Structure 1
Amino acid sequence: MEEDTLRQEVLSSFIFKDKTTEKILDELTQMAAAICDTPISLISLVGKETQWFKSKIGLEIAETPIQDSFCKYAIEQPDEIFIVENPLEDIRFKNNPLVLGYPNIRFYAGAPLTTSNGLTLGTLCVIDKKNRNLSKLQIKALQILANQTIDYLEHKKEHIHQNDLLKKSISKFNKLSNHSLDALFQLEVNENKRIHFTYINETLKDLLPQLDTQDFKEHPSKALDFVHQEDRMMVENTFVDAVRHKKEWDITYRVFNQDGSISWHQSRAFPDQFSGNKTVWYGSFRDVTDKKNYLELLEKIIFDISHIMRRPIANMLGLIYLLEVSDDSDMLNNREIIKYIKIVSEEIDEEIQGLNENYQKIKTSFKNIY
């Protein structure tokens, strides 16, 4: 790959070909002009077809064609400052429009801006409209300023890169979070005991569509309006206690739906103490109605097994015992016992069918969850 093509790609990654000025870069060019006592100082970035000035002092134009550039020669010598003391006597520049016309260059000194990877992007240069030269101290100072300039540009690039990564991570988290069955949140309690949500995902709209999310973020107590009146005090008191003692909060309670029906919700959160008196809580809201229904059905099944089915089984065991102790000659009595065993067996079969129906209800209620 040609070096100018690689340079162009690197410059694009720096995102520096914009027209905005930057205070730090302007201060560096001002220092260069002041130290070298020149009316013009530039931070010039060299592209394929043009060179543009990221910062400029004493010059009205923002860019020039690459064929008119002094800096394209300077970047060919990345380890030293490129100096032209009299362009009119230099075959490379004597017919240059920047020499023959505005800004009438009669002196140029450019310190290459070389990245940590060894690629030279442009120069920090000083320009005068009269013939002159620089002292060794001025040349050294110009090089130091050039080093500071490229350090700033590389740090800015890294900052932009890290910001991009952060934005992508936040975007990815939001996509994952908003597809969660839980309404995930971050809640802050500051030193003045003010409570507000700093983050909550969109799942909250599914759990409580009648709640204004933005209003809820600033006024969390608004959610109590939708909590069952018998549970409100419990919800509020347990949360206040958790905040006061900075301990985990885990509570299940009833809420009213828009159609007037009741659902069960679970709220959980744990605290993270920061400097001062600020505490951040990380937690979730979840609809646990299906879980509650499951537990109720499970309790019914357990009750059926431990109570209802015990009676026919006890009866059958009693009848079997009578068969075991009866006289073989008492066939009539045995037939009667067998008849009752059949009745009890049918009762057990009926109860088992009932248990199976309850199991199917559980399976149906949970098939959309797992």
Structure 2
Amino acid sequence: MSEQDRLNELYSYQILDTAAEKQLDEIVEIASISFDVPISLISLLDDKRQWFKAKHGVNSDSFPIEQSLCQYAIQKPNELFIVEDASKDERTMNHPLVTDGPKLRFYAGVPLVSPKGFAIGTLCIMDAKPHKLNDRQERLLLILAEGIMSYLNGRKTILKQQKNIEHNAAKLKQLTDQAPGIIFQFEYSPDGGARFPFLSKGVYNIDPDMDVESLKTDVSSLQKLIYMRDFPLLVNSLRESADTMNDLNIEFRIRIKGKVTWHLCMAKPEKSNGVITWFGTFQDITSRVEYENTIEQISFDISHMLRRPVTTLLGLSSVIENDENLDAKKLKEYSGYIRSVSDELDKFTRKLNETYIRKSEIIKKIKG
């Protein structure tokens, strides 16, 4: 395991230079009280400094790595590093913190070891007078260090989960922004308040100047866009969905700058603490409605235009079948009638074909 691997493990906790956290501050205070020492620290060591995540009895936030006693402790991750009298220990007797400044004598450090086996820092206690720890005290120091690492590991997991949530939320937002139509969340509260906590970017396809932020607290600006005749139907449908908790499914028109478009709203309601929330979509169905209207008109035209010539042909067939004195002259006369009706049908079919051609663009839109 290289020093760079250890540093990478430290950085993975995303904890350097973060604000104080109460749980860790309490641990260092417990350590000072339990061991009757003035100084206790939770130290994290990178390649340049020893930074204090939690401290008791020290004013500074860090020491240069060269002045750190904890640098010795992390070299053996599975052992306690204890110096009962630093002035008499060859490892520390010439250290600046021993010869100058606080003139430390006692130091005990427990490496803070990650699940991967890297010592990212220490829990350490210090005093200006010598100390000797018994087995129970050493065990307590180890328990406190384990508690610190449990907290740090839990914190790391939460940060990772938050990052995943943020990443997934960003991906979901990209999907909703690219989705056809509008994806929405609409809330209605018992006091009559209505709002859209969420609207996808598709709303700008309806009106590029839409003030989406205002819709998060007030829907009155959107109400003004609803076609006047359709507004009561939309309100009643919402009320019925709220009363029965059945899905909302309604078609209505929107008028913007003189242009009228058809929209389909489909949403599923949920109720919590009296607030009803619909999750659903708005789809522009103008092309579909125009297509259906075109087909309906074509069907009407076919029915209306064919009725008279077909009735005439049926009448001629009946006359021919029942004419007992049918001769060549009469047959020629009947043939003239049939040709006249046939010409009328031919003109109609040509006109019908022209209608289909004019409406072909609508059909193309529907089929994509």
SS in 1 for 2:115: coil
Note closer, same or farther for the CA distance 1:311–1:134 as it changes in structure 2 (3 Å cut).
Answer: farther
- The more displaced of 109-118 and 157-166 is 109-118
Give the letter for the 1:198 counterpart: P
Give the letter for the 1:31 counterpart: I
Which of 244, 253, 270 is the equivalent residue of 1:272?
270
Structure 1 residue 319: Cα displacement? 7.8
Matched, 1:281 2:278: yes
Q: Which digits, 9 at most, give the CA deviation of each residue in 1:252-284, with x for residues without a partner?
A: 1222212x222222222211233x333322122
Structure 1 residue 239: Cα displacement? 1.3
In structure 2, the partner of 1:182 is 181
**C-alpha distance in 2 between matches for 1:123 and 1:297:** 79
Matched, 1:250 2:261: no
Q: Which digits, 9 at most, give the CA deviation of each residue in 1:292-349, with x for residues without a partner?
A: 1111112123333444346556667888999999878999569747854762563254
**C-alpha distance in 2 between matches for 1:271 and 1:203:** 21
Structure 1 residue 51: Cα displacement? 2.4
TM-score (normalizing by structure 2): 0.87
Structure 1 residue 74: Cα displacement? 1.8
**C-alpha distance in 2 between matches for 1:179 and 1:335:** 64
SS in 2 for 1:279: strand
Note closer, same or farther for the CA distance 1:59–1:330 as it changes in structure 2 (3 Å cut).
Answer: same
Q: How does 1:66-77 map to 2 (within 5 A)?
A: 66-77=65-76
Structure 1 residue 122: Cα displacement? 1.2
8 Å CA contact retained: 1:207, 1:286:
no
Matched, 1:304 2:301: yes
8 Å CA contact retained: 1:46, 1:66:
yes
Note closer, same or farther for the CA distance 1:292–1:24 as it changes in structure 2 (3 Å cut).
Answer: same
**C-alpha distance in 2 between matches for 1:127 and 1:359:** 89
- Identity among equivalent positions (%) equals 30
In structure 2, the partner of 1:48 is 47
8 Å CA contact retained: 2:305, 2:348:
no
**C-alpha distance in 2 between matches for 1:205 and 1:49:** 52
**C-alpha distance in 2 between matches for 1:255 and 1:227:** 5
Matched, 1:346 2:339: no
Structure 1 residue 193: Cα displacement? 5.2
SS in 1 for 2:17: coil
SS in 2 for 1:18: coil
In structure 2, the partner of 1:262 is 260
8 Å CA contact retained: 2:44, 2:50:
yes
8 Å CA contact retained: 2:291, 2:363:
no
8 Å CA contact retained: 1:59, 1:103:
no
How many residues are paired up? 365
**C-alpha distance in 2 between matches for 1:287 and 1:345:** 38
Gaps of 5+ in 2: none
**C-alpha distance in 2 between matches for 1:356 and 1:270:** 39
TM-score (normalizing by structure 1): 0.86
SS in 2 for 1:17: coil
In structure 1, the partner of 2:6 is 7
In structure 2, the partner of 1:360 is 360
**C-alpha distance in 2 between matches for 1:6 and 1:323:** 104
Give the letter for the 1:131 counterpart: P
Q: Which digits, 9 at most, give the CA deviation of each residue in 1:90-149, with x for residues without a partner?
A: 222222112222232211111121122322211111011111122333222221111111
CA RMSD after TM alignment: 3.0
Give the letter for the 2:64 counterpart: P
**C-alpha distance in 2 between matches for 1:14 and 1:311:** 86
In structure 2, the partner of 1:18 is 17
SS in 2 for 1:227: coil
**C-alpha distance in 2 between matches for 1:182 and 1:315:** 51
Note closer, same or farther for the CA distance 1:25–1:191 as it changes in structure 2 (3 Å cut).
Answer: farther
Q: How does 1:324-343 map to 2 (within 5 A)?
A: 336=336, 339-340=339-340, 343=343
8 Å CA contact retained: 2:18, 2:53:
yes
Q: How does 1:127-166 map to 2 (within 5 A)?
A: 127-166=126-165
- The more displaced of 189-198 and 216-225 is 189-198
SS in 2 for 1:218: coil
Matched, 1:292 2:286: no
Note closer, same or farther for the CA distance 1:190–1:132 as it changes in structure 2 (3 Å cut).
Answer: same
**C-alpha distance in 2 between matches for 1:80 and 1:134:** 14
- The more displaced of 307-316 and 59-68 is 307-316
- The more displaced of 102-111 and 182-191 is 182-191
SS in 1 for 2:184: strand
